[in-house]
Amino acid sequence: MTTLLVIAKEPRPGRVKTRLTPPFTPREAALLAEAALVDTLRTVAATPARRRVLVLDGEPGAWLPPGFDVLPQCAGGLDERLAAAFAHCDGPALLIGMDTPQVTPELLSVDFADCDAYFGPAEDGGFWALGLAEPDPGLLRGVPMSTPTTGAAQRGRLVAAGLRVRDLPRLRDVDTARDAELVAAGAPHGRFAAELARVRAVNHR
């Protein structure tokens, strides 16, 4: 079975979702980040897996469900931190972030029987998921992160290595207030959508 990795930041004001401020306050942005993380971890917990690992920048809180190993993120750029996450795996692994609370167990139930890698493109040009049948940190190191061409560069790295790549559906990361609205509309029954509605109601009193 596959190891499921979630790379995340502790949802503390001023440290997460800074592009949501404004229109939201740093505290509201942190509450939205926590809700997105809760939805993500619940989905991972509901997905059959060999192992579930949270690779965390910060300290775990009450939002962490049982059944997860918690490992600290290493220092360095995002490419180094993603590479280090895969270095903890000794078999097939799928890594996601905390920015796609709309993700479902069906999307995470990958099968490497006829491919070597899974790639989940994001609307902003990045990627929301990366799966490797044989985790190799070298496939991530040096890929320029947080650019409009990050996804293309990462997928190209997989193809150049001779891997058979299967694409997952394109999803939207929650980066901006507009993203938050669209993601909540697409997953209206999650914690994230409920928290967004609560924050909006408070702001419009």
The predicted structure's pLDDT at residue 24 = 95
Which of 64-73, 114-123, 184-193, 195-204 has the least mean pLDDT? 195-204
For the chain, how far is it from start to end, CA to CA, in angstroms?
49
State both tokens at 117. 């890698």
The answer to whether 72 and 11 are in contact (CB under 8 A) is: no
Q: What is the rounded CA–CA span in Å between residue 119 and residue 110?
A: 11
Is 70 exceeded by the pLDDT of residue 182?
Answer: yes
Q: Closest Cα to residue 180, out of 192, 190, 198?
A: 192
Is 70 exceeded by the pLDDT of residue 204?
Answer: no
The answer to whether 168 and 119 are in contact (CB under 8 A) is: yes
The predicted structure's pLDDT at residue 205 = 53
Q: What is the rounded CA–CA span in Å between residue 28 and residue 13?
A: 8
Q: What is the CATH number of domain 3-203?
A: 3.90.550.10
The predicted structure's pLDDT at residue 202 = 83
Domain coordinates of the chain in residue numbers? 3-203
State both tokens at 194. 């409920």
Q: Closest Cα to residue 184, out of 102, 106, 122, 120?
A: 102
Is 70 exceeded by the pLDDT of residue 115?
Answer: yes
Is 70 exceeded by the pLDDT of residue 1?
Answer: yes
The predicted structure's pLDDT at residue 195 = 97
Q: What is the pLDDT of residues 25-77, one digit of tens each?
A: 999 999 999 999 999 999 999 999 999 999 999 999 999 999 999 999 999 99
The predicted structure's pLDDT at residue 161 = 97
Sign of CA dihedral 29, 22, 17, 26: negative
187, HSE (Cβ side, Cα atoms, 13 Å): 24
The predicted structure's pLDDT at residue 40 = 98
Share of the chain above pLDDT 70, in %: 99
The predicted structure's pLDDT at residue 203 = 76
In this structure, the strands spanning 117-121 and 3-9 are unpaired
Is 80 exceeded by the pLDDT of residue 122?
Answer: yes
